Amino acid sequence: MTVLPISKIEAPARGRRTQDSRARLLVAARKLFVERGYHATRPQDISREAGLGHGTFYLHFADKQACFLAFTEDARSELDSYLQRRLKDAPDVESAVRGSLEAIHEYSAAHPGVLVTAMADAAVIAADDAHPVTLVDRWAMQWAALLRLPVGQGGQAMDPDEAGIIGAAVVGIIHEGSAYAGRHGKAPGPTIDLLTRLIIKALT
Amino acid sequence: MTVLPISKIEAPARGRRTQDSRARLLVAARKLFVERGYHATRPQDISREAGLGHGTFYLHFADKQACFLAFTEDARSELDSYLQRRLKDAPDVESAVRGSLEAIHEYSAAHPGVLVTAMADAAVIAADDAHPVTLVDRWAMQWAALLRLPVGQGGQAMDPDEAGIIGAAVVGIIHEGSAYAGRHGKAPGPTIDLLTRLIIKALT
Amino acid sequence: MTVLPISKIEAPARGRRTQDSRARLLVAARKLFVERGYHATRPQDISREAGLGHGTFYLHFADKQACFLAFTEDARSELDSYLQRRLKDAPDVESAVRGSLEAIHEYSAAHPGVLVTAMADAAVIAADDAHPVTLVDRWAMQWAALLRLPVGQGGQAMDPDEAGIIGAAVVGIIHEGSAYAGRHGKAPGPTIDLLTRLIIKALT
Amino acid sequence: MTVLPISKIEAPARGRRTQDSRARLLVAARKLFVERGYHATRPQDISREAGLGHGTFYLHFADKQACFLAFTEDARSELDSYLQRRLKDAPDVESAVRGSLEAIHEYSAAHPGVLVTAMADAAVIAADDAHPVTLVDRWAMQWAALLRLPVGQGGQAMDPDEAGIIGAAVVGIIHEGSAYAGRHGKAPGPTIDLLTRLIIKALT
DNA sequence: GATGAATGAGCGTTCATTCAT
DNA sequence: CATGAATGAACGCTCATTCAT
């Protein structure tokens, strides 16, 4: 049996305090960005929520926008692992689509408001200056990649030129469809079924 | 013989000045919201752009948000008349879908950036406090109404419970699909064809 | 007897409030810059001292530095009129020199600390970015102009190339000499005599 | 036979590390104060430039101001040795004056910006609180001491009461004269000649 | 002695809104 | 109805300094 040296277990010391602070700031940032939105959240609020001094915020993020982008990136990669888990065994596109929707629903249930906040405010942030690759773009491209899988048994690959637009359209279906369902209190199960059907039909 | 000063002759009828000022403010607001976004536009900028005093802004709008909402409402009703014109003679759903996309494209070409601004910033505004009916909701409902038309020849009406979600999904396809195409310099013609096909297939 | 229209006397109305505010800000700025120095004076302090809101400061000055420069320029032009009065009847260079020193002393007595503050902090401000013409430069040039007067009865004009340096040297004598005398509690009369003698001898 | 690790061999004697750190901080401080000025230089910048931790700064200086004063004092004593070398063999006051100017020029050429920074910012520092003896005072007193030498062959000693003011005036001539010449690209040789002449005439 | 993450008072500045004219 | 000077709470951010390691 291997015994880890104490330093590995208990004495993070060097550079660990830093990591810890950053993590706490990101947790706090997520909470506040989701609750209040980007513009109504002040760096100072994030620091206080994290139990740290105001200055510490700027030790970890160049500015408020960088913090928001880090939050956004975190959300994206978390969602990605939810998706990964569901997609790795999907036998066909339909299962992949359904799996994706289920993953997204699962993630949204576990982290309410995060996706909506990340997408909505990202648009506003992006408008400020040239942040060329938006969150939606990345997701659209992932869908495009997924859709190069043949659809149906004798299916053919997508025209690569159209794939991006189709990917974006799928993102749109999911985003607006889920948001609408959420706003109007529709049950998630039937909504997932419905959106899956819509996407599959659109792709056939 | 008394000569009236020009200002007396040409002065608009009572209440006209008011209308005129409001109209000029809205034109200015649209220009600046589109160019700079909601948060980067100050009421003061709008007033100056309109050639009016800063205080006049508050004679016509309760606050900045009300002005943005008025802009948004204007855009929506303008787009509606574009849509109306195309849709009134549409023989079937496919023509209606294609007509809608063409109308949206036509409107966007005539008023670049307006739809994107109205939709993107609306999300942020809405987050601030409870503005229950969003622009997207209204569009989704219009699509839902449209889609109660039978699809195909022997088509049946949509399940009314699902109609809203489907309408929202269509809005999503159009919004994200067009935005992606725009960001990546795709030609409008083929994009419209593609999105029409996607929507029609999804609805069949 | 001419009667000024009331508007000239009492009804400043249009644009006058503005002028008044600016004047009050400048008075306040002078007081605080002199008492505390540039870096220890906040725009907010100036506004409060002037009995105005913080925002009003930025209606009249682009930033803190612009306010300081305006103060500096005011001081320079006030001193100029003191100098003008003394110099216009000076029969020879010696009287001009003595008159200048007396004018400077008179100004310093009436406005204690102003010249020292304007000169000392100006150097620091200037260092921040390229403000090419310093206060000292302007005074040096004025002295250079004055010194082109013949010195002594059979005097000849200064070599123009050297005039600037000599002007600057005179500024140095006055500045450091007076400052030293002030710091060490020397009486102004004998100090003026002494510095006049030094300058005259240097110039002969 | 035991081989000491290199670190043990080359490590400076106890207390040397301290001296070394202090010296490196002073070198860094001088560089940055000269390049950016007092207010634009942060203790943190100095530490980093010196290759030391931020906290180390406060092991050697009570605060930022103390560090600046140490820099200033260093510059003064370096300039003193330049002056000493020139002055120890000066046969008369004229040679002493010329030698001083040459020494100052030589020092400024070897350490560009140091004197200007030390003098200009010192004024601002001094304003902050009561640091009674300024750099200029010290130099003025040195000149005063020097000037108690008889001027000319049959010269008499200076009136001691006036000596300080005269010393300060000489500092003023040199400071402003050289600064002006520097700003306007005048050659150092003729400038030294000119200032020497001015000072000698003033003192006769 | 050396370190650098942490601190928080304080900075200069902005801007949605009001109100006397 | 129109004006624009005035407002001041609030913003994002900095930096001299401390202290646990």
Question: Terminus-to-terminus CA distance in chain A, angstroms?
Answer: 55
What does the block give as tokens for B74? 């204007």
Rg (CA), chain A: 20
For B47, B177, C85, C181, D136, the CA distances from D132, given in Å and listed in that order, are 55, 73, 36, 14, 11
Evaluate if the CB of A45 falls below 7 Å from strand E: no
B181 and B191 in contact (C-beta within 8 Å)? yes
Segment holding B171, helix H or strand E: helix B160-183
Chains C and A contact (Cβ–Cβ under 8 Å for 3 or more pairs): no
- Tokens linked to B47: 């007033």
pTM as predicted: 0.84
pLDDT of residue A13: 44
Chain segment A55-64, per-residue pLDDT in tens = 999 999 999 9
Segment B101-113 shows an average pLDDT of 94
Tell me how far apart the alpha carbons of residues B31 and D172 are, in angstroms, rounded to a whole number. 59
Q: Report CB contact under 8 Å: A176, B169.
A: yes
Cα A44 to Cα A25, A40, A41, A59, distances in angstroms: 11, 11, 8, 13
Specify the amino acid at residue C173.
I
The Cα C23–Cα C7 span in angstroms is 20
A156 with A125: CB under 8 angstroms? Answer: no
Taking the C-alpha atoms of residue B100 and residue B106, their distance in angstroms, rounded to an integer, is: 10
Q: Which nucleotide is nearest to B41 (CA to C1')?
A: E15
- C180, D164: Cβ pair inside 8 Å? yes
Q: Are D80 and D154 in contact (CB under 8 A)?
A: no
Q: Give yes or no for CB of A52 within 7 Å of strand E.
A: yes
Residue B42 pLDDT class (50, 70, 90 cuts): very high
φ, ψ (nearest 5 deg) of residue A66: -60, -35
Cα–Cα distance measured from residue C111 to residue C33, given in angstroms and rounded to the nearest whole number: 13
- Minimum Cα–Cα distance from A190: chain B residue: B162
Q: Which two structure tokens, joined as six digits, stand for B203?
A: 């609805």
Question: Which token pair is A114?
Answer: 């995060």
Contacts of D among chains (3+ CB pairs under 8 A): C
What does the DSSP assignment read for A79-133? HHHHHHHHHTT--SHHHHHHHHHHHHHHHHHHSTTHHHHHHHHHHHHHHHTT--S
Burial class (CB in 10 A: 0-12, 13-18, 19+), D144: buried
C4 Ramachandran zone, left/alpha/beta (phi>0; psi -120 to 50): beta
Nearest to A67 by CA among A52, A77, A57: A57
Q: Over 80: is that where the pLDDT of B41 sits?
A: yes
Put residue A134 in one of left, alpha, beta given phi > 0 → left and psi -120 to 50 → alpha. Answer: beta
> What fold does the segment set C64-203 form as a domain?
Tetracycline Repressor; domain 2 (1.10.357)
pLDDT tens track for D134-181: 778 888 888 888 877 655 545 556 677 789 999 999 999 999 999 889
Say yes or no: Cβ of C83 under 7 A from any atom of strand F: no
φ, ψ for residue A127, nearest 5 deg: -60, -30
**Residue A145 burial (CB count, 10 A):** 12
How big is the CA angle at C11 (ends C6 and C16), to the nearest 5 degrees? 135
Question: How high is the pLDDT of residue D150?
Answer: 57
Give the pLDDT of residue A130: 54
φ, ψ dihedrals at B137, nearest 5°: -55, -45
- Give the per-residue pLDDT at A120: 74
CB within 8 Å: B180 and A186: no
Question: Which residue has better confidence, D73 or C11?
Answer: D73
Structure tokens at A195: 């959106």
Give the homologous superfamily in CATH for domain B1-61. Answer: Homeodomain-like (1.10.10.60)
**Cβ–Cβ pairs < 8 A, chains C and D:** 130
Rounded CA-CA distance D170/C198 in Å is 10
Residue nearest to nucleotide F7 (CA to C1'): C53
Residues C49 and C30: their CA atoms lie apart, in Å, by 11
Distances from the Cα of C110 to the Cα of A159, C86, C155, C160, D177, angstroms: 85, 16, 35, 34, 28
**Minimal Cα–Cα distance from B24 to chain A, Å?**
25
What are the mean pLDDT values of chain A's consecutive 10-residue runs (204 residues total)?
44 61 96 92 96 95 94 92 90 89 94 87 64 74 78 59 90 92 90 94 88
- How far apart CA B118 and CA B68 sit, in angstroms, is 8
CB contact under 8 A, C171 and D168: no
Q: What sign does the CA torsion over B64, B66, B70, B73 have?
A: positive
According to the model, what pLDDT value does residue A189 have? 92
Give the whole-angstrom CA distance, residue D112 versus residue A91: 75
Distance CA D176, CA D155 (A): 28
D129 pLDDT tier (thresholds 50, 70, 90): low
Question: How confident is the model over D1-6, as a mean pLDDT?
Answer: 48
Task: Provide the CA A1 to C1' F21 distance, Å, integer.
Answer: 31
Q: What number is the average pLDDT over the span C144-151?
A: 72
How far, in Å, is the CA of C11 from the C1' of nucleotide F2? 20
B119 vs A134, C151, C181, D174, CA distance in Å? 16, 79, 71, 68
- The band of D17, judged by pLDDT with boundaries at 50, 70 and 90, is low
Q: What is the distance between the alpha carbons of residues D191 and A38, in angstroms, rounded to a whole number?
A: 62
- CA nearest to D192, candidates D100, D81, D87: D100
Rounded Cα gap, residues A28 and D179, in angstroms: 54
Q: Which residues of D touch C168 (CB under 8 A)?
A: 176-177, 179-181
Nearest-Å Rg of the Cα atoms of chain C is 20
Q: Which of residues 8-47 of D touch strand E (CB under 7 A)?
A: 17-18, 20-21
- CA-nearest of D118, D79, D76 to D99 is D79
Long-range contacts of D86-91 (CB under 8 A, 24+ apart): D87/D146
Proximity of residue C55 CB to strand F below 7 A: yes
- D165 with C183: Cβ contact below 8 A: no
- Burial status of residue B3 (CB atoms within 10 A of its CB: 0-12, 13-18, 19 or more): exposed
Q: Give ∠ CA C83-C88-C91 in degrees, rounded to 5.
A: 115
C-alpha gyration radius of chain B: 21
Establish whether the CB of A53 is closer than 7 Å to any nucleic acid atom in strand E.
yes
Q: For chain D, which residues make up each domain, given as ranges?
A: 1-61, 64-203
Cross-chain CB nearest to A177 (options B40, B168, B174):
B168
* 8 Å CB contact of D124 and C38: yes
pLDDT tens, position by position, D27-54: 999 999 999 989 999 999 999 999 999 9
Range of A90-94, B2-6, B86-90, C164-168 with top mean pLDDT: C164-168
Distance CA A139, CA A127 (A): 18
Nearest to D133 by CA among C183, C121, C188: C183
Residue C46: pLDDT band with limits 50, 70, 90: very high
CA distance B118 to B37: 9
SS3 content of chain D, % helix, strand, coil (to 5): 75, 0, 25
Distance C55 CA to E13 C1' (A): 9
Residues 26-45 of chain A with CB under 7 A from strand F are 39, 41-44
Mean pLDDT of B50-73: 94
Confidence grade of residue C155 (pLDDT, cut at 50, 70, 90): low
Go through D40-75 and write b for each residue having 16 or more CB atoms within 10 A of its CB, e for each that does not.
ebebebbbebbebeeebbeebbeebeebbbbbbebb
Name the minimum distance, in Å, from the CA of D115 to any CA of chain C. Answer: 13
- The residues, ordered by sequence, that sit 6+ positions from A98 with a Cβ below 8 Å of its Cβ are A192, A196
Which residue on chain D is closest to C165 by alpha carbon? D177
DSSP string, A36-79: H-STT--HHHHHHHTT--HHHHHHH-SSHHHHHHHHHHHHHHHH
Residue C9 pLDDT > 60: no
From B162's Cα to the closest Cα of chain A, the distance in A is: 8
pLDDT at D128 over 60: no
Q: CA-CA distances (angstroms) from residue A200 to A196, B165, B192, C87?
A: 6, 16, 20, 95
Q: In Å, what is the separation between the CA of A33 and the C1' of E5?
A: 25
d(Cα D140, Cα D134) in Å, to the nearest integer? 10
